[in-house]
Amino acid sequence: MLEALDLAKRGSGDVEPNPRTGALMITDGEIVGRGWHQFYGGPHAEVMALQDAHAKGAKPDTAVITLEPCSSQIGEGGKKTPPCTNTLLAAGIRRVIVGAMDPDPRHRRRGLLALEQQGVEVVEGVLADRCLQQNQTFLKWLNLDRPWTIAKWAMTLDGKTAAPTGESRWITGIESRRRTHELRARCDAVVVGFRTAQIDDPELTVRHVFGRQPVRIVVDPRAEIDDDSNLVRTANKTPTWLLVADDVDAARAGHLQDLGVQVIHVKVAESPRHIHLREAWRELRRRGLRRIVVEGGGGLVADLLGWSCVDQVQCFLAPKLIGGRTAPTPVAGEGRAFMAEAWQVSEWTHCVSGDDLLLSGFLP
């Protein structure tokens, strides 16, 4: 089980909160196969371990798994993954040693029961606390009453997200921009603040890759977005939502709705120019959004951090220096007064993205 736990730690840090699972396949007491759930949409740990065993010509009789095997067909990344319980049974596994039960209440113990009903010996609860601790990110996702939120930005080596003039095209290279569009396609919505919508006039669509179009959302308390902006002009083609204060001018809100923009009223917090972002995010969840990416600006990201509404960060770091006291940074606002109060990011992963570097991590 300890080796299976170590395998599970190799999670890719992908954009989705995956269960971190590892599996071992055993024949006559000897380990003959190893595997782990490497990325969202990829084969589960049990499948990887069985493939490893079969590649060696082995026929395992025992499986050691950190998390209860799934018992229903899983849809991930547009694919359908067959239940791992069926896969284990088809492979002739007669004994399964499991660390922890599935934390999802919809599936808890269903996989173990399916195995037991077919005569498989099940040993459960081995190092269960450690297995669950390793899956804290997944447990958090299961219990959220708002969308899983990824704060994504691109910046120069000196931490700037635009030049002092506000111009930002392009900080990163084509590969990083392609990855950004992949991320959009895997999220239910892409969100920006009013100033980003005003300065950049973005489209916020998926273009460089094939994939679904996310809902486009602007946090715009006073409904100040321009009628001739890209977002408003194309609102009848691609769903576009505006989060506004509940006291916003009714005529203005009605005008935007006539143009195809869905206006969502949210109660005011702190001042007339701010909205209660926690309640806004709950409303997004009630409307069916489970995973969203926030692409700026720094003020919105800072506000969301303050409301504890950020779960993951993705930073594309470009090998450029631009300087400037007034050049924007990815997280603005008042910040934290002391280093001891800094938001801690854990489970960091990194990879090369063309000439850039992609850093990804989770907030507890």
Q: Which one, of 183, 175, 154, 198, lies nearest residue 328 by Cα?
A: 154
Strand 148-156 relative to strand 312-318, pairing: parallel
Domain boundaries, the chain: 2-138, 144-362
Residue 261 has pLDDT above 70, yes or no: yes
Query: Quick check: 293 and 187 in contact, CB under 8 A?
Result: yes
Number of H helices, E strands in the chain: 12, 18
| Res. 38: pLDDT tops 80 | no
**What integer pLDDT is reported at residue 76 of this predicted model?**
46
Phi and psi dihedrals of 242, rounded to 5?
Answer: -120, 125
Q: What is the CATH number of domain 2-138?
A: 3.40.140.10
**Any residues with CB less than 8 A from the CB of 206 and at least 6 apart, and which?**
181, 184, 185, 212, 213, 214
Tens digits of residue pLDDT in 4-25: 667 666 654 555 566 678 899 9
Cα dihedral 172, 364, 188, 296 sign? negative
pLDDT score recorded for residue 215:
96
46 is catalytic: yes
Does 170 sit behind a cis peptide bond, omega within 30 degrees of 0 on the bond before it? Answer: yes
Indicate whether this model's pTM tops 0.75.
yes
pLDDT at 82: 75
Arithmetic mean of pLDDT, 102-131:
86
What topology is assigned to 144-362 in CATH? Answer: Dihydrofolate Reductase, subunit A (3.40.430)
Give the integer Cα–Cα distance in Å for 292 and 189: 5
* Residue of 16, 46, 68, 295 with catalytic role: 46
pLDDT digits (tens, 9 = 90+) for 314-339: 999 999 999 999 999 999 988 889 99
